[in-house]
Structure 1
Amino acid sequence: MVTPGELDRFLMTMEGAPPALATVVERLAGPPAPEIERCAAGPLAPLLCATLIQQLAEPGGSAPDEGVTAVLRGLAQQQSALALLDVTDELLGSGAFVESYGTRLHRVFLTGASTPRPLVAATFAEGALRLAIAGSGDIMRTVVMLTPEEADGLDPDYAERLPRLLGAALDVWGAERAVSGALLRTLAELRLHPAAAAGAAFETGLHQIRSAADPGTDDPVAVLVTARKNLAHAEAAEECGGDAALYGTGIDAVMAFRRGDQLALRDVHRGLLRLLDERANGFRRGHVPAWRRSRAEAGFAWARLVTILTRALDATTRPAWLDAWPMIDALLDAYALDRAVVPVPGAVDQDGLARVVRPVIASALRGRETLLVQLRVAAVDDADRVGRLREIVERPDTSTEASPDDDADCSRLVSLAPSIVAELGLPAATRLARQVDDDALRMMEGMAYNTVVRHGSLRDPVIAGLLDSLVTGLQPCADYTGSVRQSFDALLAETVTFLATRHDLQRSAAVDYLSPARPPPREARLQDDFADWLRRGPLAGRIAVEVPNVATGRADIMIGFGVTRFFIEVKRELRNSSRAELERAYLAQAADYSGTSATLGMLLVLDLTPHPAGVPHLSECAWVTSCRPPGSTVDRYIVVGRVIGNRSTPSAYSRAAGH
């Protein structure tokens, strides 16, 4: 607690524009340095800094080094996040101060970022980042400050604010691999932190849009699909939902253009205009700091991009043009998108996003004799413009989407159905694509894409990340396709949600079998709890418990979908709950139940081992593994879920100082 001193009292009675610091100091009775330092550490620090900036702004103005040093020493002790934000805006708004003292202030901010007060630490970190972006701070030291070794242990208030800072750093330094690697690694870790998961998903999605616009990206469309999924995860979050919806809708437009869906593109256009109106209203009601304005304004480029795509799609689908020039201009705009319509902040190649739409235009114009006749007629008026269009029509397809080994099926899939590939994996998607023509494949792609977006927007980012990792692990399973996959995915979603609720006792109404007890509870408690959970959800009516005559034994839980059945083995563990030990002890039994149905199953373990220093993160409590019984040629894929029991309250992990 800083006690107000003589300088504070003078600043509180000050009226009008702030005087120069020298004028203020002259009125002090004692030595100025202690008073300046005391004031800079208190709530009136912004006013004090305004007097310093005023002195520097005067003709030939300079500040005594003793006074500046006292200000910086006081700021290092600042404990108000609001005062610190105002101070940062005040000081960084002065070019004279930043040029003369920016490096020293940057060191103060770096030191302050380690304070135990999370909101203040985040504000110090923001100031350090802003100075480094402005060129007045050490970039690598700033990156080290933004990338802690263990992100999962961060205070929630600090972690919640960190993704925005990491994203701003990626805007500026994302093209530098030495820097971006550490930033992206921390973002990935924050995806598992409940307080930061939504923000991290948004910033990851935004970086993936940048990557899609990078000429070095082999498959920009697949990257856009992944980015859309991350943005969907972030949409439900209040702090970044509006921006995530805006960028996500922009990707929807690009994907609708690629599959030639005019109705979807028009719907997206209307939705985008609504989001932009909401955003503009938000800007009018609130203050957007100057250092974040470029990102805010970049969002409006989506409107121009979508307008171009809508006009271009109309041009490629008309059998003839009554007025050729507007259509030609629309195609040229889409084929050569300029930097003004690359709707992502940061340094990206202006030719990047154009690579995503060019194959659609080129393939739509080839063989269109009526349109080519119109081009030749129009050439009389403007040969240069028609020459550019002829280049589009006649050039060979050099799209990076082509398969390096000229595999026609793979090239067709990646071009027409990237969402299906992302969801099913390339082998299963290839089998599906061989059975349908291009029009049907485009229709199925639209359904798959909409499903990806819808599911992503309904899930907490931490749960969504765990589900994504499990789905990826199951893709090698030959049975994980078609209706079997749909059924198992339904079970998977219910299981992951169950694990999340039981990981957080406050959500799950204090389930007593998860609390420390003597004797320890039997696995039947978990079995009953999970079966009851399933009966209350969308799988109601498909659940059976203690099912006899399965693999010469009795299965704990069975979920039936007609002839397809999935079996869940439930166990408890008292000694060693490591992955390797759980699989060694129980995997063979869990896998044996799937001997006459789909080669998919589950193992659910009640972990009653001691947890003296905390419990694993939710993302570590489920994984996919496989096994093959001796003499068999068929792999069995098992999802292992670990329910953490024998848990004390978090306060039990604290220890008094010195103990």
Structure 2
Amino acid sequence: MVTSGELDRLLVTMGGVPPPLAAVVERLAGPPAPEIERCAAGPLAPLLCATLVQQLAEPGGAAPDDVTALLRGLTQQHSVLALLDATDELLGSVAFVESYGVRLHRAFLTGASAARPLVAGAFAEGALRLAITGVGDIMRTVVMVTPDAVDDLDPDYAERLPRLIGAALDVWGGERAISESLLRTLAELRQHPAAAAGAAFEFGLHQIRSAADPSTEDPIAVLVVARKNLAHAEVAEECGDDAALYGTGIDAVMAFRRGDQLALRDVQRRMLRLLDERANGLRRGHVPAWRRSRAEAGFAWARLVTILARALDATTRPAWLDAWPMIDALLDAYALDRAVVPVPGAVDQDGLARVVRPVIASALRGRETLLVQLRVAAADDTDRVGRLREIIARLDVSPEPSLDDDHERSRLVSLAPSMVAELGLPAATRLARQVDDDALRMIEGVAYNAVVRHGSLRDPVIAGLLEGLTTGLQSCPDYTGSVRQSFDALLTETVTFLATRHDLQRSAAVDYLFPARSPPREARLQEDFADWLRRGPLAGHIAVEVPNVATGRVDIMVGFGATRFFIEVKRELRDSSRAELERSYLAQAADYSGTSATLGMLLVLDLTPHPAGVPHLSECAWVASRRPPGSTVDRHIVAGLVIGNRPTPSAYSRAANH
């Protein structure tokens, strides 16, 4: 039993922001170390850790003896809540993690042998959080979560162990020496009553990941086994909803493969219901922040729903009925769902909190999904249908090439680097030798868009922008169910497009972005954006210059059956501030949504002068609402800004020097 001491009483009397630790301990009558150790073992440990973090921000930092005493006391902590809060205080400090992260990891390993199972589990969680960001001894951490005698584990500890093993597999699943030990323990936990459902869930997710491994001979068979595990996990209170969602995703893949329209329709209904429940759960859940499902995973799930809707379309082309786009979307959802920020105080070179994402082999699925995308492009683009179909047919049957041709490799790297990245050098070489440079550039365009889309959701800036937009749309009553999933799919494509056009290196061939004597018309942006949408998962849903919408002609319409979203495209030459853009164009953009969902988009080409630089990407999209006079219904418009009339960054330096 830890009794309160003088330091505890001092901390209780201090309100507001915790002062630096030195300002507190100097008021102690006796030596500080025993008091710090006592306090760190008691209920005020989080507040003590907060004072230490404040001290690290002061010149000279913290006294080594104070840190040692705090860590020693923390290993004696008996309260789960106090330990978790104290852990969050310390791991949220960049200075503490950089200076004392390894020592804290050792303290967590010591505490993981605590007699109380829930406390031991909290220590184990802290040690794993540090290890998966590269702080501390990885092998000792793996040994900690793979005990020899699983049958002897306390039920409270065993129940929490599968999730820790799953997080370790997400990071080290590709390292055979580590993964074999983790999987062995997970298999043993399948027999433990308290851990069986959680272990089945983690096994199912591991098998989903394994389906993408090029060494897997039959990925569909692996998914069938994963489905059995997820069905078992659906009974669990903590992971049951997620297990049901992933299980439904696999059901979609299987129905997709056999062309079962009735099953696909049932899967679509179940998935929409589960995604609605998931969105509500994320808003009101109390899952620890570092284990909380990433909000941007919803956009990957929305892509999967879009594929389902296309499969249910009576005009679906046979080339689209391929399971790989569905598997690809399922794996993307998995990667985003399981991405974590285990140690906010561990940052990358840009100062962003280090996001740890599951390692998923992508060589096989990259090749297969690109082939399907090329087939869809061939079917949707009548000007290129013959050439693309012939190219795909050749790629599917051509023999393996010799890779000793320097000229061919140079041509590939120069004209089609994205295709090489997606297909691999042998397949890309086999294809390139059979087509001329124009056809190779055409295929590179499809491959490049695929690369950008695949990586965009994992970019922290784009993920943050998407999360901000969805938060802004929460007040829209139509933003739910199938309408939300469809709009999220469009939102993903739009934000990815904005990000790509914001980066001139990735859009060097897009002429309307650069300064011109005669400003480009908004039709250039309209054509470019519509072409972007047609080359992605929304192909077949896009129409341009649609007449008789709200007594006018809308620039772009994206249709999902009876639900239609309208996109108004404008250009701005004088004032691109949010207030001015909304004053000038919001009424028109909002008017188009008067007969369908109260959701729409406004895309503006900003051709104003930019003598001192351009806005950050995170400032280039926002949610605006408008209620027409006499109406009681708000219209919610996502406004996006494409920055044109841009000199190169070096031009700003020249301007400043003259």
TM-score range, shorter chain: 0.5 to 0.7
1:239 is matched with which residue?
238
1:350 aligns with 2:362: yes
1:514 maps to: none
Counterpart in the other structure of 1:341: 332
User: Is the Cα contact below 8 Å between 2:328 and 2:369 reproduced in 1?
Assistant: no
Asked whether the equivalents of residues 335 and 358 of structure 1 are also in contact (C-alpha less than 8 Å), the reply is no
What are the superposed Cα offsets for residues 340-362 of structure 1, whole Å, 9 maximum, x if unpaired? 83534411133545678799999
Say if 2:31 is the partner of 1:19.
no
What is residue 120 of structure 2 aligned with on the other side? Answer: 121
Distance in 2 (CA, whole Å) between partners of 1:93 and 1:113 is: 21
Contact 1:80 1:120 in 2 (8 A): yes
Q: Which residue type is aligned with residue 48 of structure 1?
A: L
Q: Distance in 1 between matches of 2:22 and 2:46?
A: 16
Measure, in 1, the Cα distance between the counterparts of 2:368 and 2:51: 53
**Cα–Cα, structure 1 residues 386 and 175, in superposed 2: closer, same or farther, change >3 Å?**
farther
Q: Determine the structure 1 residue equivalent to 2:208.
A: 209
- What is the CA RMSD across the aligned residues, in angstroms? 3.1
* Letter in structure 2 aligned against 1:52: L
Cα 1:239–1:68, aligned 2, differ >3 Å: closer, same or farther?
A: same
Instruction: Sort the Cα spacing of 1:65 and 1:5 in 2 relative to 1 into closer, same or farther, 3 A.
Output: same
1:45 matched residue in structure 2: 45
| SS class of match (2:166) | helix
Q: Structure 1 pair 33/335, CA: closer, same or farther in 2 (3 Å)?
A: closer
User: Which blocks of at least 5 consecutive residues in structure 1 are unaligned?
Assistant: 320-326, 366-370, 399-659
1:46-195 aligned at under 5 Å gives the runs 46-58=46-58, 60=59, 62-195=61-194
Deviation at 1:195, TM superposition (A): 0.3
**Alpha carbons of structure 1 residues 103 and 396: separation in structure 2 relative to 1, 3 Å:** same
Q: Once the 2 structures are TM-superposed, how far is the Cα of residue 173 of structure 1 from its aligned partner?
A: 0.9
Q: Residue 356 and residue 189 in structure 1: after superposition, are their counterparts in 2 closer, same or farther (change >3 A)?
A: farther
Q: How does 1:289-304 map to 2 (within 5 A)?
A: 289-293=288-292, 297-298=296-297, 301-304=300-303
Residue in 1 that maps onto 2:5: 5
Distance 1:200 1:119, change over 3 A: same
Offset of residue 224 of structure 1: 0.2
C-alpha contact 2:310 2:316 (8 A) present in aligned 1: no
User: Aligned residue for 1:282?
Assistant: 281
Structure 2 vs 1, CA of residues 243 and 331 (structure 1 numbering), >3 Å: closer, same or farther? closer
Matches within 5 A, 1:301-316: 301-312=300-311, 314=313
Task: Give 1:342-491 correspondences, 5 Å limit.
Answer: 343-344=334-335, 345=338, 346-353=358-365, 375=379, 378-380=381-383, 383=384, 387-396=387-396
CA spacing shift, 1:313–1:274, aligned 2, 3 Å: closer
Task: Decide whether the 8 Å contact of 2:209 with 2:331 is kept in 1.
Answer: no
Gap change, CA 1:134 and 1:359, over 3 Å in 2: closer
Q: Distance in 1 between matches of 2:253 and 2:330?
A: 16
Residues paired across the two proteins, number: 377
CA contact (8 A) 2:324 2:369 kept: no
Contact 1:164 1:199 survives alignment (8 Å): yes
Which structure has the larger Rg?
1
8 Å Cα contact 1:191/1:198 also seen in 2: yes
Mapped to 2, the partners of 1:378 and 1:358 lie a distance apart of 16
1:392/1:210 Cα in 2 relative to 1: closer, same or farther (>3 Å)?
Answer: same
Corresponding residue SS for 1:343: helix
Q: Is the 1:113–1:124 Cα contact (8 Å) retained in structure 2? A: yes
Classify the secondary structure of the residue corresponding to 1:280.
Answer: helix
- Output the TM-score relative to the length of structure 1: 0.53
Whole-Å separation in 2 of the counterparts to 1:170 and 1:146: 11
Q: Give the secondary structure class of the aligned counterpart of 1:194.
A: coil
| 1:200 paired residue number | 199
| Superposition deviation, residue 316 in structure 1 | 7.7
Instruction: Report the Cα offset of residue 127 of structure 1.
Output: 0.3
Decide whether the 8 Å contact of 2:304 with 2:330 is kept in 1.
no
Cα pair distance change 1:149/1:43, threshold 3 Å:
same
Q: Say if 1:224 and 1:251, in contact at 8 Å, map to a contact too.
A: yes
Tell me, in whole angstroms, the C-alpha distance in 2 between the residues paired with 1:392 and 1:273.
34
Residues 85, 275 of structure 1: alpha-carbon distance in 2 compared, 3 angstrom cutoff: same
1:248 aligned residue: 247
State whether residues 163 and 187 of structure 1, in contact with CA within 8 Å, keep that contact through their aligned partners in structure 2: yes
**CA 1:289–1:44: 2 relative to 1, 3 Å:** same
Counterpart contact for 1:300–1:343, Cα < 8 Å: no
Tell me, in whole angstroms, the C-alpha distance in 2 between the residues paired with 1:170 and 1:332.
25
**In 2, Cα distance between the equivalents of 1:336 and 1:156?**
35
Give me the whole-angstrom Cα distance separating, in 2, the residues matched to 1:94 and 1:361.
45
Contact 2:268 2:308 in 1 (8 A): no
3-state secondary structure, aligned to 1:4: coil
1:493-642 pair list within 5 angstroms: none
**8 A Cα contact 1:213 1:352, kept in partner:** yes
Shift in alpha-carbon separation, 1:57–1:177, aligned structure 2, 3 A: same
Tell me the distance in 2 between the aligned counterparts of 1:14 and 1:396.
72
The Cα shift of 1:295 comes to: 5.8
Counterpart of 1:347 in structure 2: which amino acid? V
Q: Deviations over 1:406-443 (max 9, x none)?
A: xxxxxxxxxxxxxxxxxxxxxxxxxxxxxxxxxxxxxx
Are the counterparts in 1 of residues 105 and 127 from structure 2 also a CA contact under 8 Å?
yes
Deviation (angstroms), 1:305: 2.1
Return the letter of the residue paired with 2:240. Answer: G
CA–CA separation in structure 1 for the residues paired with 2:64 and 2:282: 39
Q: In structure 2, what residue type is equivalent to 1:151?
A: V
Q: Which amino acid aligns with 1:219?
A: D
Cross-structure match for 1:34: 34
Q: Given the superposition, is the C-alpha separation of residues 70 and 386 from structure 1 closer, same or farther in structure 2, using an over 3 Å criterion? A: farther
Residue 69 of structure 1 deviates from its aligned partner by 0.3
TM superposition shift of 1:289: 3.3
Cα deviation, 1:433-489, whole Å, max 9, x if unaligned, reads xxxxxxxxxxxxxxxxxxxxxxxxxxxxxxxxxxxxxxxxxxxxxxxxxxxxxxxxx
CA distance in 1: counterparts of 2:316 and 2:308, whole angstroms? 12
Q: 1:139 to 1:298 in 2, by over 3 A?
A: farther
How far does the alpha carbon of each residue in 1:64-116 deviate from its partner, in whole angstroms, 9 at most, with x for none? 10100010010011111111111111111111101100000000100111112
Q: For residue 12 of structure 1, what is the amino acid of its counterpart?
A: V
- d(CA) in 2 for partners of 1:112, 1:332: 47
Amino acid at match of 2:360: V
User: Closer, same or farther in 2 for the Cα pair 1:226/1:25, shift >3 Å?
Assistant: same
Distance in 2, matches of 1:62 and 1:109, equals 23
Give the corresponding residue for 2:474: none
Q: Match for 1:26: what amino acid?
A: E
Describe the shift of the 1:243–1:182 C-alpha distance in structure 2 as closer, same or farther (beyond 3 A).
same
* Partners of 2:66 and 2:387 in 1: CA distance: 67
Structure 1 stretch displaced more, 254-263 or 186-195: 254-263
State the percentage of identical aligned residues.
72
CA distance in 2, matches of 1:350, 1:274: 29
CA distance in 1, matches of 2:246, 2:397: 29
Q: Which runs of 5 or more structure 2 residues have no equivalent in the other structure?
A: 339-357, 399-658
Q: 1:279 Cα shift?
A: 1.4
CA distance in 2, matches of 1:302, 1:310: 13
Deviation at 1:335, TM superposition (A): 8.9
Alpha-carbon spacing, 1:235–1:212, altered in 2? closer, same or farther (3 Å)? same
CA distance in 1, matches of 2:110, 2:234: 34
Q: Which residue of 2 aligns with 1:456?
A: none
Shift of residue 310, structure 1, vs aligned partner: 3.7
Aligned partners of 1:390, 1:314: CA distance in 2, in Å? 26
